[in-house]
Copies of this chain bind each other. A is one copy, B any other.
Amino acid sequence: MSYRGAMNARVRSEERRAEIVRAALEVIAERGYRGASLAAVAERVGLTQQGLLHYFPTKDALLVAVLEERDQWDAVPDTRWRVDLLASLVEYNAMRPGIIQTFSALLGESVTEGHPARQYFTERYTQVRASMAAVLRTEYGERLPNGLTPERTAPLLVAVMDGLQYQWLLDPQSVDMPGAFRDFLRLLGEDPHREDPDREDPD
């Protein structure tokens, strides 16, 4: 019984932490990391700022948890991915403006000096570029239809995804993010009607 009680307590504590991280994602989306106060995060989960510090001893510790959370729901693509899965990912992103806003704001801040997320983003982009190159290699081999190598194309693929996000966040009415991304894939030499082999020929 005491074992079980301890388990429940731990589970409840984990749930609380997850709740706090979700709230932090929201507040960062609204105000950036530097602008996000612990008190504002705490308020959303019905805690005081000091109550929150029981779960995350410092603001930076909370940020670390936020970045770890990202690594979970936004896994780095691997070689099993096909290029058209990337298009689906962008479509999926277009349905979650909040989370895109969080990490676009964080990415922007991270280039400033001494930002606690800087190292995270630097390492993540190295990783993502490598993954994208692998995906492109799986799909096209050593040379893409346009003559570039996977390694040289990967930074462009990543740049388009990020850059479109900013334009779309600022003006969702004017920017069709998924459509533009598919246009980019077409530039890579992808035949837009080859994406789903099971599909009937469109008219």
- A residues with a Cβ closer than 8 A to B are 29-32, 34-35, 101, 104-113, 118, 121-122, 125-126, 129, 146-148, 152-153, 155-156, 158-164, 166-167, 169-171, 174-175, 179-180, 183-184, 186-188
Contacts and interface: CB of A to CB of B under 8 A. Distances in A.
Contact of A125 (B29, B152, B159, B170): B170
A129 B171 CA distance: 12
B170 A121 contact: yes
Contact of A105 (B109, B129, B163, B186): B109
Contact of A126 (B29, B129, B174): B174
Given A122-B170, A163-B160, A113 B31 contact: yes
* Stoichiometry (number of copies): 2
Given A30-B113, A156-B184, A160-B160, 7 more contacts: A32-B32, A121-B170, A152-B180, A153-B183, A155-B167, A159-B166, A162-B162
Nearest to A184: B156
Nearest to A34: B35
A175 B167 CA distance: 22
A160 to B, nearest CB: 5
A167 B147 CA distance: 23
A148 B186 CA distance: 9
B159 A163 contact: yes
A161 B164 CA distance: 10
Contact of A161 (B105, B108, B163): B163
A132 to B, nearest CB: 12
A54 to B, nearest CB: 27
